């Protein structure tokens, strides 16, 4: 499975990013799955929405939307036709 990463918000303070995370999760119809160390994690079969630390600047947080992309063709897909 391929994953496309999209940054929805970036900032130094965690509280506004957590609020936006909850808004985006409910807007996209995602269900809360678990918590990581920065806040809740929302997922469904197509998206994964979570807060991560910016690897280049540890003082920054990022709200990440990860698109779970299915490969266009697979070995087992050939047998389904």
Q: What CATH number is attached to the domain comprising 63?
A: 3.30.310
pLDDT for the residue numbered 52 = 93
In a domain, 63, yes or no: yes
47-53: strand order across its sheet? 2-11, 61-69, 47-53, 39-43, 31-36
Q: In the prediction, which pLDDT does 2 show?
A: 82
In a domain? residue 78: no
Q: Say what the pTM is.
A: 0.76
Tokens, residue 60? 């920054």
Q: List the domain range (segments joined by +) for residue 13.
A: 2-71
Q: In this structure, is residue 77 part of a structural domain?
A: no
In a domain? residue 65: yes
The structural domain count of the chain equals: 1
More confident residue, 2 or 41: 41
Q: What are the pLDDT digits (tens) for 34-77?
A: 888 888 999 998 899 999 998 888 889 999 999 987 766 666 55
Residue 80 inside a domain? The answer is no
| Residue 57 in domain | yes
Residue 20, pLDDT above cutoff 90? yes
């Amino acid at each position: 499975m391929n994953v496309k990463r999209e940054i929805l918000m970036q900032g130094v303070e965690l509280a506004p990013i957590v609020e936006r995370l909850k808004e985006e999760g409910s807007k996209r119809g995602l269900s809360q799955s678990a918590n990581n160390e920065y806040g809740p994690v929302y997922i469904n079969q197509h998206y994964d929405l979570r807060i991560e630390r910016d690897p280049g600047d540890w003082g920054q947080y990022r709200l990440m939307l990860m698109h779970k992309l299915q490969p266009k063709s697979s070995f087992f897909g050939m047998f389904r036709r």
